[in-house]
Amino acid sequence: MRLREKVALITGAGSGIGRESALLFAQEGAAVVVVDVNVPGGEETVAQVQAQGGRALFVKADVSKDAECRAMVAAAEDEFGGLHILFNNAGIMHASDDDAVHTEESIWDLTMNINLKGVFLGCKHGIPALRRSGGGSIINVASFVALLGAATPQLAYTASKGGVLSMTRELAIIHARENIRANAICPGPLRTELLMKVLNTDEKKQRRLVHIPMGRFGEAIEIARAALFLASDESSFVTGSTFTVDGGITAAYVTPE
């Protein structure tokens, strides 16, 4: 098993990438702390992990709140004795996120608080725990829009994910001599509830699909498999990287007919 005797904390694990990662990490031997604001979703993830014979604990936490991030890390150490993998996955893409003219300040602030501040707070409290465990892996979810502009205006989301990517690089440099690695995953458009709520018409979906050389949306499990590599010792010489899992969207702007 690739994560035997490891403890992983995954935010936003009540659905999507987070849930698939929790299931996969547990299959590979990790004890998993499932973090989400969605209590039914988080508890369902734990139930699924336990049903397959894995170990999991649910912690309700809003990643934009300092005290709640402190508590989720403490829960990992109290329940499982340490922390080796910090997967900052929680994020939002608000339907009212638009261009600079039309995006409300409240939507900007909400998006930044969860997508960017949430990663900062996860690291603020998670890194001391990783140190106490002798090191580990930080995985932050950025996006392909951190590398190029989105076809559909979503300025706050794009800016927040650019911040995650830059933060990850600096984390990697600062903590490289502490046996703590930090890497960012940049998913392409995925067939998850988060994105499908925003791309809520066939026209909007097609505007995204036309730019993806593989001609389809990605699946959450495909991102989870990338995260598993970064969580495992197989990536022991990988830090500060941008792991792009996007069906080729950043390699070619327009798909040939």
DSSP letter for each residue of 30-81:
-EEEEEES-HHHHHHHHHHHHHTT-EEEEEE--TT-HHHHHHHHHHHHHHHS
pLDDT at 67: 98
Which residue has better confidence, 199 or 176? 176
| pLDDT, tens digit, 9 for 90 and up, residues 188-203 | 988 877 777 777 787 7
| pLDDT, tens digit, 9 for 90 and up, residues 16-43 | 999 999 999 999 999 999 999 999 999 9
Query: To the nearest whole percent, how much of the chain has pLDDT over 70?
Result: 98
For the beta carbon of residue 245, count every other beta carbon within 10 angstroms: 16
Instruction: Identify the active-site residue in 157, 168, 199, 217.
Output: 157
pLDDT at 256 over 70: no
pLDDT at 210 over 60: yes
| pLDDT, tens digit, 9 for 90 and up, residues 52-67 | 999 999 999 999 999 9
Domains and CATH numbers, the chain: 7-241 (3.40.50.720)
* 159-185 burial: b if 16+ Cβ within 10 Å, else e: bbbbbbbebbbebbeebeeeebbbbbb
CA distance 135 to 233: 11
pLDDT at 253: 57
Query: Is 253 marked active-site?
Result: no
pLDDT at 184 over 60: yes
Q: Mean per-residue pLDDT for 145-153?
A: 88
Q: Mean per-residue pLDDT for 101-112?
A: 98
Q: Mean per-residue pLDDT for 220-227?
A: 98
Provide the whole-model pTM. Answer: 0.95
* 190-225 burial: b if 16+ Cβ within 10 Å, else e: bebeebeebbeeeeebeebbebbeeeebbebeebbe
The answer to whether 107 touches 29, Cβ cutoff 8 Å, is: no
pLDDT at 254: 54
